[in-house]
Amino acid sequence: MPVCRHLFLHYPNDERVQNLSYQQFLVGSEFLVVPVLDKGKKKVKAYFPLGESSSWVHIWTGKVFSKEGSEEWVEAPIGYPAVFLKVGSLIGETFLNNLRSLGIL
């Protein structure tokens, strides 16, 4: 499996992910990235896929998104991309702890 993945690799039963050709992607299975693709934009629309009973936490704000199959507008100013981690992920918690120890969070 590639490190950066289309959502359909992990959420094949969610028809909405089929239309997200480049708007967002997974890094591994536990990081959801929604890049800003238009110059000057500071918000992105994130889609939280169906298929698992998991919540996603925004790494910069700590806000938890737990409604599967929902879309949310999320702030994504320059330098603070919209990146989410699966709640309860050991890899995600380690990542957040590393960001904190480096003074980034």
Q: How confident is the model at residue 72 (pLDDT cuts 50, 70, 90)?
A: very high
The pTM score is 0.88
Mean pLDDT confidence for 59-64: 93
Q: Which among 75, 71, 79 is positioned nearest to 41, based on CA atoms?
A: 75
Mean pLDDT confidence for 5-12: 89
What's the CA gap between 21 and 7, in Å, rounded? 9
Q: Which CATH number fits domain 4-101: 3.40.50.10860, 2.60.40.1180, 3.40.228.10, 3.40.50.970?
A: 2.60.40.1180
50 C-beta neighbours (distance < 10 Å), count: 14
What's the CA gap between 84 and 48, in Å, rounded? 10
Q: What SS3 state is found at 18?
A: helix
Check pLDDT > 70 for residue 52: no
Instruction: Report whether 80 contacts 66 (CB < 8 A).
Output: no
Check pLDDT > 90 for residue 83: yes
Residue at token pair 């590393």: 98
DSSP E strands in the chain: the ranges are 4-5, 25-27, 31-34, 43-48, 56-58, 64-65, 70-75, 82-86
Segments making up each domain of the chain, as ranges: 4-101
Check pLDDT > 80 for residue 79: yes
